[in-house]
Amino acid sequence: MSITISGDGTITGISSGGLNDGIITDDELNLSANASNIKTALNASGTAPIYACRAWVNFNGTGTVAIRASGNVTGITDNGTGDYTVNFATAMPDVDYAVTGTAMRNSTYASDANPVVVALKSNTTYSDNATTSSFSITTHWSADASNQDPIAVCVAFFR
Amino acid sequence: MNRIIFPKTDGGVSVFVPSPDCDLTIEQMAQQVVPESTPYKIVDESEIPSDRTFRDAWVWSDND
């Protein structure tokens, strides 16, 4: 049917309603995270799939503990020296996410021979420290594992 | 900015630090992070000691 505009401004030939489900696929709309145009925009070459960061936080663990910036994080809980819990704003789908982290030592410690390590808090079980709503970490010396408060703690979660 | 403080099961104190990037209210955050049936207080960050030398010796008190 052709679309007609009459002299009084009436438009005919247009029906209401949408397309049936499945007529246009995600690939055709390029809505897939791994569609070629999305990968190009992200400078992701090759065919390996893309998995997104689901939450992240950068905070100062010294003095007045404060968050510099974050994504999908309500806040962190300071449980003690080098003992923190990252709380997610929107829950993870399960507890099988992967975590990566780094920390910068307090500048009052001059030696580079004893870096700070970010680790899953390990005094209890995995399920006690990794839930869909939060994840607990410790930051400690690599040499003796004693907990330390770093001036920067950066943690990211992937799933 | 405010902080949420609540007791740990071992007698110590947890201090919740809200993210500046989160739109929830401090009360909504408390509902999420404070364990059920655990008392808590919302305080100004200036009330939390910045000297963390004896951080692990901090204890919860019901007194204001």
Q: What is the pLDDT of residues B39-62, one digit of tens each?
A: 999 999 999 999 999 999 999 987
B56 inside domain: no
Measure the CA–CA gap between A37 and A4, rounded to whole angstroms.
37
B38 inside domain: yes
Q: Looking at the whole model, is its pTM more than 0.95? A: no
Higher pLDDT, A151 or A3: A151
Interior angle at CA A85, CA A129 and CA B12, nearest 5:
95
- pLDDT value of residue A123: 65
Q: Which domain holds residue B8?
A: 2-48
B57 inside domain: no
Could you tell me what percent of chain B has a pLDDT over 90? 88
A87–B24: do the CB atoms touch at under 8 Å?
no
Residues in Cβ contact with B42 at an 8 Å cutoff, skipping those fewer than 6 apart: B2, B3, B4, B26, B27, B30
User: Domain count of chain B?
Assistant: 1
**Of A59, A64, A87, which has the smallest distance from its Cβ to B48's Cβ?**
A64
B36 inside domain: yes
Q: Where are the beta strands (DSSP E) in chain A?
A: 4-5, 11-12, 53-60, 66-71, 73-80, 83-88, 98-104, 116-120, 134-141, 152-158
Q: Which residues of A touch B45 (CB under 8 A)?
A: 64, 66
Measure the CA–CA gap between A94 and A92, rounded to whole angstroms.
5
Mean of pLDDT over chain B: 94
Å between A80 CA and nearest CA of chain B: 5
Instruction: Give how far the C-alpha of residue A113 lies from the chain's centroid of Cα atoms, to the nearest Å.
Output: 30
Give the per-residue SS3 of chain B. CEEEEEECCCCCEEEEEECCCCCCCHHHHHHHHCCCCCCCEEEEHHHCCCCCCCHHHCCCCCCC
**Of A59, A77, A81, which has the smallest distance from its Cβ to B14's Cβ?**
A77
- Give the Cβ contact number of residue A140 at 10 Å: 20
Q: Which residues of B touch A134 (CB under 8 A)?
A: 33
* Gap between the terminal Cα atoms of chain A: 48
Q: Which residues of A touch B15 (CB under 8 A)?
A: 65, 77-78
Mean of pLDDT over chain A: 85
Measure the CA–CA gap between A117 and A148, rounded to whole angstroms.
9
Least confident segment among A68-72, A110-114, B32-36: A110-114
Higher pLDDT, A6 or A58: A58
Q: Which residues of B touch A74 (CB under 8 A)?
A: 18-19, 22, 24, 29, 32-33
B25 inside domain: yes
